[in-house]
A and B are shown apart, each in its own frame.
Chain A
Amino acid sequence: DQQVKQNSPSLSVQEGRISILNCDYTNSMFDYFLWYKKYPAEGPTFLISISSIKDKNEDGRFTVFLNKSAKHLSLHIVPSQPGDSAVYFCAASSYNTDKLIFGTGTRLQVFP
Chain B
Amino acid sequence: KAGVTQTPRYLIKTRGQQVTLSCSPISGHRSVSWYQQTPGQGLQFLFEYFSETQRNKGNFPGRFSGRQFSNSRSEMNVSTLELGDSALYLCASSREGSTDTQYFGPGTRLTVL
Contact = CB atoms under 8 A, between A and B. Distances in A.
B70 interface: no
B99 A102 contact: no
A42 B104 CA distance: 8
Contacts of B44: 102
Nearest to A93: B98
B51 interface: no
B42 A89 contact: yes
B45 A102 contact: yes
Q: Interface range on chain A: under 10, 10 to 19, 20 to 34, or 35 or more?
A: 20 to 34
B90 to A, nearest CB: 5
Contacts of A98: 48, 55-56, 97-99
Contacts, number: 59
Contacts of B56: 97-99
Contacts of A97: 56
Contact of A99 (B42, B98, B105): B98
Interface string B83-113: 0000000101000011101111111000000
B40 interface: yes
Contact of A102 (B35, B48, B97, B107): B35
B33 interface: yes
A32 B99 contact: yes
Interface string A13-43: 0000000000000000000100010000111
7 contacts: A43-B103, A44-B43, A45-B104, A98-B55, A98-B98, A99-B56, A102-B45
Interface of B: 4, 33, 35, 40-45, 48, 55-56, 58, 90, 92, 97-99, 101-107
Interface of A: 4, 6, 32, 36, 41-46, 49, 89, 91, 93, 95, 97-105
Given A43-B4, A105-B42, 19 more contacts: A6-B42, A41-B106, A43-B104, A43-B105, A43-B106, A44-B90, A44-B104, A89-B42, A97-B56, A98-B55, A98-B97, A98-B98, A99-B56, A100-B98, A102-B44, A102-B45, A104-B41, A104-B42, A105-B43
